[in-house]
A = this chain, B = another copy of it.
Amino acid sequence: MEPLPNQGLDLEALWQSYKEAVNAGGNAQALYQERIWPVLLEKWRQDPPVYPSRQPFQVSIHTLGTSPEATALAILGAGAGEVYVLHTPESARFLSRLRQDTGKDLYPIEIGKSDVAAIYREVKRLLEKHPGLPVALDLTSGTKAMSAGLAAAGFFFQRFYPEVRVVYVDNEVYDPELRRPKAGTERLIILPNPHEVLAEVDALLARELYTKGEFGQAAKAFGEMGAKTGDRRYELYAVLCQMYQRWYDLDFGGAAKEAKKLLGRLSENTWLNHPLNQNRRALEGPPVLVQGVVQPGVFGKPA
């Protein structure tokens, strides 16, 4: 019985013999293309390494600079049937190579290499074209401006297109001698959305509502955030907003009640370090009689 082929070991052995050949004076680039790349590509065709796990993407969008090989791996890693490539006039020459390596029919879209807004616009357009489908946005290749535009679009649009993921091909080991990632250590990484992890989008938007005097809306937003993040800190902001809402509704008794509730919570051991305690004096005024405190200053920092 034949042993199962172990691509990892094959690549390890191949990499050593490749290094030796380069050290013996061989052409690094030509040898890589001849000996390493076909094996690496086959490995990704069969079983691409994806962290934390493979996902069934139906559409993938890639930025393409001068690293077509990494993009080929990203296309195979995402495994989508519909593949869009945002390339520059300079990187257009890699498209046919990319088609050949991945066996996929690509949709090329030309953009300027520093045109952040164009990337944003194209991503928005493509997401609208494929509503509800899982889409991978791959920022592995291209200029920093291109990656920046794709990342900003991806993380932001996740709020409205929750199936979108931002991904890139990283390598665990870089060979400084050969100035290349060590073959076999590459993997497609699916990035977490920083907005979501930290609830910062919601915190800042809720605060924006507050500064606009939309206290009812702000209270609702803070309440939802407390439930979503499990962080009870936000509930105190919700109470603050409710207090102002009552005040503006001319319900002074209700406002005073909310103020008392807030001061009570802020005196609890858990909340002695809550940012709102920095503005305690203004709240004790009594607050509902001092219109001047309806200012963002009282608010402190939401997170």
Contacts and interface: CB of A to CB of B under 8 A. Distances in A.
A153 B116 contact: no
B170 A117 contact: no
B204 A145 contact: no
Given A200-B124, A204-B160, A217-B217, A194 B153 contact: yes
Contacts of A114: 170, 189, 191
A154 B153 CA distance: 12
Contacts of A160: 204, 207-208
A87 to B, nearest CB: 16
A246 B145 CA distance: 45
Interface in A102-154: 114, 116-117, 119-121, 124, 128, 139-140, 143-145, 147-154
A153 B198 CA distance: 11
Given A204-B159, A208-B160, A117 B148 contact: no
Contact of A194 (B116, B147, B217, B301): B116
A144 B149 contact: no
A234 interface: no
Interface string A248-285: 00000000000000000000000000000000000000
A205 interface: yes
Contact of A148 (B143, B157, B191, B205): B191
Contacts of A198: 117, 120-121, 124
A204 B153 CA distance: 12
A189 B139 contact: no
Contacts of A116: 191-192, 194
Given A204-B160, A205-B205, A144 B168 contact: yes
Interface string A184-198: 000001011011011
Contact of A152 (B128, B189, B194, B205): B194
A144 B152 contact: no
B151 A140 contact: no
Contacts of A225: none
A175 B168 CA distance: 26
24 contacts: A114-B191, A116-B191, A117-B192, A117-B197, A119-B194, A120-B197, A120-B200, A121-B194, A121-B198, A139-B148, A145-B168, A148-B148, A148-B150, A148-B166, A151-B151, A152-B152, A152-B155, A152-B156, A153-B194, A156-B156, A156-B200, A156-B201, A160-B207, A217-B217
9 cross-chain pairs, A with B, having the tightest CB-CB distances, nearest first = A148-B151, A120-B194, A117-B197, A152-B155, A144-B168, A117-B194, A116-B194, A151-B151, A160-B204
Interface of A: 114, 116-117, 119-121, 124, 128, 139-140, 143-145, 147-157, 159-160, 166, 168, 170, 179, 189, 191-192, 194-195, 197-198, 200-201, 204-205, 207-208, 214, 217, 301, 303
